[in-house]
Structure 1
Amino acid sequence: MNLFTKLQERAASGQPVLVGMIGAGKFGTMFLAQALRLKGIHIVGVVDLHPDAAKSNMKLVGWDAAAYSASSLDDAATSGATFVGDDWEALTAHPKIEIIIECTGNPIAAVTHCLKAFENGKHIINVTVEADAFVGPGLANKAREAGVIYSMAYGDQPALASDLVDWARGCGFSVVAAGRGHKWMPHYRQSTPETVWDHWGLTKEQAERGRLNPKMFNAFLDGSKPAIESAAIANVCGLDAPENGLVFPSGGIDDVPNLARPRSEGGVLDHKGMVDVISCLTPEGEQIPHDIRKGVWVCFEGDTEYLRNCFEEYKVVTDDSGRYMCNYKRWHLIGLELGISVASVGIRKEPTGAAHEFRADVAAISKRQLKKGEILDGEGGYTVAGGLRPASISVTEGYVPLGLAQNVTLIRDVPEGQPVKWSDVQADTNTDAYRLRREVEASISNNRAA
């Protein structure tokens, strides 16, 4: 409860947390807006494929030109200004920088950036949760081997949900389920970047004003991002994924205790200890009041009569049996909250969530009948969407993870609604992401053999 105080102390001592950031898109720009207010954090460098666009975004959120006019990383580190460029390797190698924030949104590039940062002794805050979903345990392990910290990004829903799970367990409660909210209808699975804004509830003009990427936002709508983030939550918190994918039960916040309990007790879970996503729409498409669409939740259990009596005495909302209760954070503010991760990693040397196990995976599921010779366009595109599966099933069946279903060519047809398998594609095996994925898959196989 004292991270801000600690940041103030770092600022007063003239030793702010020194940070480099790769990628200045929406998430990164939101953090840049807040970093101006956090004197205990110094962003030494920002690198982007398009430095002028990064500078434009910095200007958009209130940076004076002089603040991002350092002539080099060395100049920035000594002057207190920020250098903007396009050389991520120089950023990850700079001796003064303590933490690298990876927020490119490109999972294949993100893995390479993380691994190089580890080699150079840098902590990583990985905003690119798409990478965490298919190699998070591998990245966390590589960080441990290098003696550095690998962390999810506070402000994104996985870190916030994991924080709620930690709160519940730290209080002594047994966690029954955790997850996030979403706006969901089954036909959204087929949404493309051309249809996303109509479903999302924004006009094209509003989306352009906010410089919103239709492919990225379509990944939220078509179920890919909920699957990705649910996988991250499961692998951090030791929770299980539904065998046939997310259920997306409909409900508001007060409905969560009835929904997020085992089916044998009237809920939607296969068993206790799972992840799922609550839809803010009824099956008919009507908006549900007091929804959790933009937030996260944890459902926990009053497993003794005394605890259930306490729930009743303090008038908390439970399920109809009085046994299950939820706590929640109704909103997440994305990059505006990232300072919590920077302070936690930089000062406390603690991640705001990191994968401990490989329990859940995100398979690439065909959006339509796919033909031999087609090139998969990855998350949020026209060809595949993400489907949450238990990692043991995904690996055993040879499913291609969504994070690697980008710019790969089909060598056979794939029917609509089916997972794409390694045997269906000509994979690019010459990437750090592919190699690390194979290491993570081997850990599943080794555990099964043991």
Structure 2
Amino acid sequence: MSLHRQLLQRQAEGRPIRVGLIGAGKFGSMYLAQVPRTPGMHVAAIADLSPEAACRNLARVGWPPERVRATSIDAALKDGTTHVGDDWKALVAHPAIDVVVECTGSPVHAVDHCLEAFAHGKHVVNVTVEADAFCGPWLAREAARAGVVYTLAFGDQPALICDLVDWARTCGFPVVAAGRGHKWLPHFAQSTPETVWGYYGLTPEQAARGGLNPKMFNSFLDGSKPSIESAAVANATGLEVPSTGLTYPPASIADIPFVTRPQSEGGHLEKKGMVEVISSLEADGRAIPYDIRMGVWVTVEGETDYIRHCFEEYNAHTDPSGRYFTLYKRWHLIGLEVGYSVASVALRGEATGVATCWNADVVATAKRDLAPGEMLDGEGGYTVWGKLQPAAASLAYRGEGGLPLGLAHQVKVVRPVAQGQMLSWSDVAIDTATRAYRVRREMEAAFAAAPAARH
């Protein structure tokens, strides 16, 4: 039975999926905009650092005031409204909540939220892919131990890429490459929240109108988010990543099957079975017509003459050899699609993308020369950006391991770091008391002891 029919059945039986949302910012608000239009789904509770801001966002997306209840989760469950408060622990502990949607965008806090939700028997849809990028394999393991489902969020590009990869493999196609698009030029790696809108293609007035966060959008632009999302995809699908980081080959949609071939066959890849990001800009800055900037893609191989003849007979667009074909979705709808993941975990017990290995990592890299005493400000900020690395290379970096970007928030630099240099653990004084730090170090120790488990 389709997910939608199952939701209709749950609605008719008065047994909606009961959802708890942590974080009602832009992504969370987009999900909330769809909930009143989705049968069989009830957001029973929202936890946010600012309940007042959460209520303003609810009003912005069209929720009438009478849908919002401030007293308790129990009262909201009785009358079908939504409790809005600041107590995330009460939300994840409530026995009636089926699925927790982690939507804070704060990787350190997201780890706490996910692990507590697992401990209380809740499925988790993790929108905060920054947390998945530095400890997703460990989160997946803990969820499995707790007997619940942990998943990436549909609507965000990693889950959509995982869906395309799963389609390909289920149909019997070898996956040559998969990834997303991006507007990229090398100097974007040094972009800051002050320069982001000009590079991104929005005016400051447009950004203000949309309530857009310059630091968050700068993390998209400067390469951090593409690296984070590519790491999540590699760890969920088993695909490998470029040995020196993402290379952003420029290509139109028509040229993706040509570019995403191995170098030995005239393409751009080190080898088959890779994650990569396609740039929507030529190296000289010219925009490429019909780009994949906001979309996702997978390139597959027709291994036999018969399959390649089928590509030709059905007018499938391939590379010149006829061997490689790319399927793509040109757009993703961000939080508007999260309900698909919620339904999948609650009704089918299936993730829409979850780490199965540790193939990739994202290491904090200096945007400029950094001096002792400076504070790192994480992805999208003024000090560091995220560089995609094979997990083995990150673990071995300078004999101590690279500093994961997800932990490079409010961390003091203790020795000079040159622009373009990846940071290691000893370059910073990090808070070792957080659960996120402990989880990461436990994961490193486990995979270092059993490197075969990376794949």
1:449–1:68 CA distance, 2 compared to 1 (3 A): closer
Of 403, 422, 425, the match for 1:422? 425
Alignment of 1:448 onto 2:434: no
Give 1:21's aligned residue: 21
> After superposition, where does 1:12-91 map in structure 2 within 5 Å?
12-91=12-91
1:80-109: CA deviation from partner (whole Å, max 9, x where unpaired) = 100000000000000100110000000000
Corresponding residue for residue 274 of structure 1: 274
Partner of 2:301: 301
Counterpart amino acid of residue 260 in structure 2? A
Who is 1:400 aligned against?
403
Query: Counterparts of 1:369-384 in structure 2 under 5 Å?
Result: 369-384=369-384
The letter of the residue matching 1:232 is A
Cα displacement string for residues 189-211 of structure 1 (whole angstroms, at most 9, x for unaligned residues): 00000111111111111111111
CA–CA separation in structure 2 for the residues paired with 1:70 and 1:112: 24
Please list the CA deviations of residues 83-141 of structure 1 after superposition, one character each: whole Å capped at 9, or x if unmatched. 00000000000010011000000000000000001111111000000000010000000
Selected match of 1:409 from 398, 412, 423: 412
Q: Find the aligned partners of 1:448 and 1:333 in 2 and give their Cα distance.
A: 37
Task: Please give the residue correspondences for 1:275-354 in structure 2 after superposition, counting only pairs within 5 Å.
Answer: 275-354=275-354
Q: Is the contact made by 2:7 and 2:41 (CA closer than 8 Å) also made in structure 1?
A: yes
Are residue 431 (structure 1) and residue 423 (structure 2) matched? no
The one-letter amino acid of 1:323's match is R
Does residue 197 in structure 1 map to residue 197 in structure 2? Answer: yes
More displaced stretch, 113-122 vs 64-73: 64-73
Q: Deviation of residue 70 (structure 1)?
A: 4.7
Q: In the alignment, residue 264 of structure 2 is paired with which amino acid?
A: S
1:264 maps to: 264
Deviations 1:42-67 (A, max 9, x none): 00001110110000000000000010
**1:104 paired residue number:** 104
The root-mean-square deviation of aligned C-alpha atoms, in Å, is 1.0
**Would you say the 8 A contact 1:175–1:299 is kept in 2?**
yes
Within 5 Å, give how 1:183-262 maps onto structure 2: 183-262=183-262
Secondary structure at 1:36 match in 2: helix
**1:347 positional shift:** 0.7
1:39 Cα deviation after fit: 2.5
Letter in 1 for 2:68: Y
Give the superposition deviation at 1:311.
0.9
150-159 vs 343-352, greater mean Cα deviation: 343-352
Structure 2 length normalisation: TM-score? 0.98
Q: 2:99, 2:12 → 1: CA distance? A: 20
| Larger CA deviation: 68-77 vs 169-178 | 68-77
CA distance in 2, matches of 1:77, 1:446: 47
Find the aligned partners of 1:88 and 1:106 in 2 and give their Cα distance. Answer: 14
Displacement of 1:444 after TM fit? 2.3
> Structure 1 CA distance, aligned partners of 2:448 and 2:305?
42
- Any conservation in 1 of the 2:155–2:332 contact (CA below 8 Å)? yes
Q: Tell me how far apart the structure 2 counterparts of residues 415 and 229 of structure 1 sit (CA, whole Å).
A: 26
Q: Structure 2 CA distance, aligned partners of 1:78 and 1:93?
A: 18
* 5+ residue gaps, structure 1: none
SS in 1 for 2:450: helix
Contact 2:70/2:85 (<8 A) preserved:
no
CA distance in 2, matches of 1:174, 1:265: 16
Whole-angstrom distance in 2 between the partners of 1:272 and 1:449: 20
Distance 1:89 1:158 in 2: 28
Does 2:144 correspond to 1:144? Answer: yes
- The residue number in structure 2 matching 1:359 is 359
State the AA in 1 paired with 2:148: V
8 Å contact 1:177–1:260 — kept in the other structure? yes
Deviation at residue 448 of structure 1 after TM alignment: 3.1
In 2, distance between residues paired with 1:448 and 1:83? 45
Where do 5+ consecutive residues of structure 2 fail to align? Answer: none
Q: State the TM-score, normalizing by the size of structure 1.
A: 0.99
Paired with 1:245 and 1:356, the residues of 2 have a C-alpha distance of: 21
What amino acid does structure 2 have at the position aligned with 1:379?
E
Contact 1:70 1:81 in 2 (8 A): no
CA distance in 2, matches of 1:447, 1:277: 30
Contact 1:395 1:444 survives alignment (8 Å): no
Q: How far is 1:69 from its partner?
A: 2.2
Post-superposition offset of 1:443? 2.7
Residues in 2 aligned to 1:392 and 1:78: alpha-carbon distance in whole angstroms: 51
Deviations 1:225-265 (A, max 9, x none): 00000000100000001110001000111111111111111
Shifted more, 339-348 versus 156-165: the winner is 339-348
> What is the distance in 1 between the residues matched to 2:292 and 2:353?
21
The code of the aligned residue for 1:448 comes to P
CA-CA distance at 1:306 after TM superposition:
1.1
Structure 1 distance, partners of 2:78, 2:438, is 38
Task: Verify the 8 A CA contact 1:392 1:444 in the aligned structure 2.
Answer: no
**Identity across the alignment (%):** 60
Distance 1:97 1:37 in 2: 20
Instruction: Give the whole-Å Cα distance in 2 for the aligned partners of 1:442 and 1:312.
Output: 50
Deviation at 1:447, TM superposition (A): 2.0
How far, CA to CA, are the matches of 2:406 and 2:333 in structure 1?
Answer: 24
Partner of 1:177: 177
Amino acid at match of 2:197: W
Shift of 1:449: 8.1
